[in-house]
Amino acid sequence: MKKDKPNETDISLQPHPREKGITYEFGRLNSYPMFWVKKIAVSSQAGVSPESGNVRGEILDLTSQQALVGRPTVANFTGDFPGAGINAFQTKLTFDNRKNPSDTDLVFKIGSYTVDSRPLVQSNDVNILMVKAKGGLDINANLKGLRNITLNLNNRFSEVNYDIKAKDSNVQDVLKGVFNGLPSIDIRAQGAGTLPKVSLDIVSNVGSELQKGFEKQIQIKIDEARKKIQALIDSQISDQKKKIESQISQFKSQFEKELKKIQDQAEAQKKSVTGKAEQTKKDAENQAKKKIEGEGQKAIDDLKKKFGF
């Protein structure tokens, strides 16, 4: 193509950009790759620094060509970090490039770790603070082709201490009962997607356990109210019962007095009648005796006259 100007570049003569190629590696089975470290041992002892920890582990079969050695690269580590409150952690990373696509597995566990103070609810009416707790963590992840990831996570909390404050004393009592009665809290997450876009599905037992706790505490409050109402009713009935018993006692006392009075009068009448009867009997006996004695004396006197005495 003819140039119009001396300094003008002929575009048609520009080289085309190179296309991305494919790298091929050739090796002989059971031969050695260019780079292969069979084992790396790691050991660390906790020192003065709070960030230091007790770590033991190994890296196996770190190589430039896994197809030749026939093994994946595996890294294992265990230990704890006392200064950070992390105990019994384990991690295992397996990278397998022998497959197409490549396959990477991660298993990560922490037996327990210290959870420092953190607020859960902050408002003008209610404040709930997680003062202290023990946490545990399990993570299982798989990455295929360095792009597609699946993830499972379980984070649990136990031995949780709460600081709960509320303006209303009844609300505060209910909240204390609910949160102090919670078992361990579990938070589970599942994820899947193509990096960097990963969708997460998070579930927890907090909602269901809180519902159970509120139902239990509300039932306790209802039972307490019932007991108070029953006690008030019993108190009112008891007062009325005492009044009725007092009136009955008064009536009984008056009746007993009247009855005794009647009994005393009857007894007096009985004594009077008995006395009169006895007197009448005695008088009759005396009269009969006198009569008998008089008639007997007369008979004797008549006999005396007959015989001339």
Q: 129-172: per-residue pLDDT in tens?
A: 888 889 999 999 999 988 899 999 999 988 888 888 888 888 88
Range list of β-strands (E), 64-196: 73-81, 86-96, 103-115, 118-122, 126-144, 148-166, 185-194
Q: What is the largest CA-CA distance in the chain?
A: 224
Domain of residue 54 covers 19-205
Quote the pLDDT of residue 1. Answer: 46
| Number of separate domains in the chain | 1
Domain membership flag for residue 293: no
Domain membership flag for residue 196: yes
Domain membership flag for residue 99: yes
The overall pTM is greater than 0.75: no
* % of the chain beyond a pLDDT of 70: 79
Token pair, residue 155, equals 């984070």
196/208 Cα distance (integer angstroms): 33
Domain membership flag for residue 258: no
177/77 Cα distance (integer angstroms): 41
| 261: Cβ contacts below 8 Å, ≥ 6 apart | none
- In the chain, the N- to C-terminal Cα span, in Å, equals 220
Question: Is residue 195 within a helix (H) or strand (E), and if so which, with residue range?
Answer: none
| 99: Cβ contacts below 8 Å, ≥ 6 apart | none
Token pair, residue 153, equals 């996570």
Domain membership flag for residue 50: yes
Domain membership flag for residue 85: yes
95/133 Cα distance (integer angstroms): 35
